[in-house]
Amino acid sequence: MKAAVIDGLLAVLVLSTWLGVLAFLRLRNTLDRLHCVTFVNVVCGLCVVVAAFVADGLADRPLKILVLAVVTLINGAGLSHAVGRALWLRWMPEQAKE
């Protein structure tokens, strides 16, 4: 049962990554593509953390993976915001000055 749950979570991880790739290729706007990257970051991190807790329970390894996932989410959010702001300033300089 445990192996089936882990396999299902990893399948969701792979499918969400492919969904993000297809959406990235389909979308034209750079800001829209940035949402695809953020989506993949969040969903894959969550799937890995849940799979680790299912596999090992409340042990050291899943807790370390959880900390890494939280740090990745925080860094990813900050980087996405910085990139989005830089793109916005590049495209709309006259409105950004107001």
CA dihedral 72, 73, 74, 77 (to 10 degrees): 120
Structural domain of 8: 2-96
The helix or strand, by DSSP H or E, that contains position 77, with its residue range, turns out to be: helix 60-91
Average pLDDT score over residue span 74-82: 90
**Is the model more confident about 30 or about 67?**
67
pLDDT score, position 12? 95
Domain count for the chain: 1
Residue 51 · residue 69 · CB < 8 Å: no
Rounded to whole angstroms, the Cα distance separating 4 from 9 reads: 9
**pLDDT above 90 coverage of the chain, percent:** 58
**Is the model more confident about 90 or about 3?**
3
pTM of this structure: 0.78
CATH number assigned to the domain comprising residue 18: 1.10.287
DSSP annotation of 58 reads S
Asked whether residue 1 carries a pLDDT value surpassing 90, the answer given is no
